[in-house]
Structure 1
Amino acid sequence: MYRQQQNSADSLSSPQKIFELYLFVNPIGFKCYRTEQEVLKFIHSLDGQKVHFHFITFHNFNTVNQYMKRLKLPEKDLNLRNQIYSSIYDASLAYKAALMQGKKKGRNFLLYLQKALAHGTATYSKELLAEVAAKAKLDVDMFFEDKASSFVKSSYEADQHTAQEMHITKNPSLVIFDNSNYQYGLLLEDNITAEVLNEIILESSSNAEKKAELLHDLNITTIGRGYIRITNK
């Protein structure tokens, strides 16, 4: 009850609409790389709206299957499947370690890694991680030390738990919350572009009928969010 009363009070006193975006991605996937670029394009285009955004790595056997299908890889090759799963897990830890040296550096690390792998001129390896970490202006020794830490592993596990609570089943997926409604967020899958996001943000203040029509047209669903609070960090 206190949470609901506090959230209502915060919403009423807020001088502007605040949006919080959670983008769930595959850290080695090029489709996710393109989606991240679209989200950043959308954020940079905003005028007046305040946005907090988070890129979160997420994977399980289902998302690995989707990844292999997308790349037309032999799905019955168990060795390849296990290799991909291990690479995604390791890359997720690497991204969490990079974030410990700053959100912007961590985000650049993720983008550089995905782009390097997408061009097909590099394979996932410790050497590639070192190269990408240096390009993102990270302290490389500290990066590898953090990557092996229990803190990074715990942080990774917390992200997987968040994804499960938000009912994420595929990459990329985007969840949008705003401070006018603390109870529900919007879940977008696949069709995540700057154009679509602009449409959603612009229509978010319209009447309920128009908003419902827009969400139906874009095939967007709502999810609960009692466990998340918008912050100003």
Structure 2
Amino acid sequence: MNKLEDKIMPISFQKCVHRPIEAYLFIDPLCRDCWVIDPLVTKLLLEYGHYFTLRHVLTGKVESSHKWNKPANIRFVWEKTTSLHGFSCDGKINMHKSDSSPYISSLAIKAAELQGRKAGSKFLRKLQEAIFLSNVHKPDSETLLSCAEKSGIDVKEFMDDLHAAGARKAFQCDLKFTNEMHITEIPSLVFFHTNSDEEGIKIAGIYSYDVYVQVLREIVNEELVPKSLPSIEELLHEYEFLSTREVATIYGMSHAEAERELKKLVLKRKVRQLPTEREMYWKFTKENDLV
């Protein structure tokens, strides 16, 4: 078995409802690789999001290393771990007292997700920007509040949920699911067909975009019809803040081509450059920014 085959593994699941394909992205919000995979997943959602739904699962792998039990009765893991909205987990998490504990970031993501999956994704994006672009190594309550404001979610509801049982139980469900699924590498992306007893497929690590499309095609078991990508301007309007690397990945361009297209938008005063220590970022320009 070659290296790629070692990373792409069949895995069994219990059926569930919603769209035909369910995808689970196992991440640690403090892991840089989980930031690197983001444009690949974004492109997959933009082109093939009509085939699958995506759920982020927080692994909590900040202090342990590969200490995972072997899966048992894996077909029933997700149903037994959580009812998705009912939170059947006990919510018992060994939290550190400090509000800058690594776990507080995961709890914050789950608190944001209580306002909807899209709200959770937007908050996660803003949190990752703070961690990897502003070099915030241990996000505290002030950072989390700022991320909530920037993501456009209900801040009061978020702060209430952050310290309530619902977020803790949701995070506990993620930890149990990760453990039962025997996730030993992050990020890992898992696909399965909800209307079939066929095994799902788990991809551990990061690969080229074509690999994810190939796996999705295998699960769907038919030729995929991609949707057209939005324009770069439309994408920046939605995400507000993207790097040259992310734009190049999503649009299949070279770094130079992506930079050239982005500079055209700068000339039109649609975006502005935001240099960081590692790479160039581009921010969508709102009308009041021009005043």
Q: Shorter-chain-normalised TM-score: which range?
A: 0.5 to 0.7
- Residue correspondence of structure 1 range 89-168 to structure 2 within 5 A: 89-123=103-137, 124-168=139-183
Q: Which amino acid in 1 is paired with 2:52? A: V
Secondary structure at the aligned position of 1:181 is classed as coil
Secondary structure at the aligned position of 1:151 is classed as helix
Matched-pair contact (CA < 8 Å) for 2:32–2:132? yes
In structure 1, distance between residues paired with 2:116 and 2:65: 28
Secondary structure at the aligned position of 2:37 is classed as helix
How many residues are paired up? Answer: 176
In structure 2, distance between residues paired with 1:180 and 1:144: 38
Q: 1:104 to 1:135 in 2, by over 3 A?
A: same
Secondary structure at the aligned position of 1:23 is classed as strand
**What's the CA shift string for 1:47-93, capped at 9, x where partnerless?**
8x52011011112433599xxxxxxxxxxxxxxxx99xx73311110
Secondary structure at the aligned position of 2:153 is classed as coil
Q: Which amino acid in 2 is paired with 1:91? A: S
Matched-pair contact (CA < 8 Å) for 2:127–2:147? yes
Q: Which amino acid in 1 is paired with 2:158? A: F
Secondary structure at the aligned position of 1:175 is classed as strand
Matched-pair contact (CA < 8 Å) for 1:176–1:187? yes
**Structure 2 residue ranges without an equivalent (≥5):** 1-13, 68-95, 223-291
In structure 2, distance between residues paired with 1:89 and 1:182: 35
Matched-pair contact (CA < 8 Å) for 2:66–2:184? no
Matched-pair contact (CA < 8 Å) for 1:25–1:56? yes
Q: CA deviation at 1:191?
A: 2.2
Between Structure 1 and Structure 2, the one with more helix by share is: 1
Matched-pair contact (CA < 8 Å) for 1:35–1:193? no
Q: Confirm or deny that 1:169 pairs with 2:184.
A: yes
Q: 1:159 to 1:56 in 2, by over 3 A?
A: same
* TM-score using structure 1 length: 0.66
Secondary structure at the aligned position of 1:101 is classed as coil
Q: Confirm or deny that 1:30 pairs with 2:32.
A: yes
Matched-pair contact (CA < 8 Å) for 1:29–1:118? no
Where does residue 22 of structure 2 map in the other structure? 20
Where does residue 194 of structure 1 map in the other structure? 209
Where does residue 215 of structure 1 map in the other structure? none
The ranges of structure 1 where at least 4 consecutive aligned residues each deviate by more than 4 angstroms after the TM superposition are none
- Pick one of 29, 42, 45 that aligns with 1:43: 45
Matched-pair contact (CA < 8 Å) for 1:39–1:193? no
Q: Confirm or deny that 1:53 pairs with 2:54.
A: yes
Matched-pair contact (CA < 8 Å) for 2:27–2:188? yes
Q: CA deviation at 1:183?
A: 4.8
In structure 1, distance between residues paired with 2:183 and 2:53: 19
Secondary structure at the aligned position of 2:55 is classed as strand
Q: 1:34 to 1:52 in 2, by over 3 A?
A: same
Q: 1:192 to 1:19 in 2, by over 3 A?
A: farther
Q: Which amino acid in 2 is paired with 1:139? A: D
In structure 2, distance between residues paired with 1:112 and 1:138: 11
* TM-score using structure 2 length: 0.54
Using the aligned pairs only, state the percent identity.
28
Q: CA deviation at 1:120?
A: 3.9
Matched-pair contact (CA < 8 Å) for 1:98–1:106? yes
Q: CA deviation at 1:139?
A: 1.9
**What's the CA shift string for 1:133-192, capped at 9, x where partnerless?**
000112222211101101211111111111111111221111110146335221111124
Secondary structure at the aligned position of 1:163 is classed as helix
In structure 1, distance between residues paired with 2:46 and 2:65: 29
Matched-pair contact (CA < 8 Å) for 2:191–2:216? no
In structure 1, distance between residues paired with 2:158 and 2:208: 32
Q: Which amino acid in 2 is paired with 1:54? A: R
Secondary structure at the aligned position of 2:101 is classed as helix
Q: Which amino acid in 2 is paired with 1:36? A: D
Matched-pair contact (CA < 8 Å) for 1:95–1:110? yes
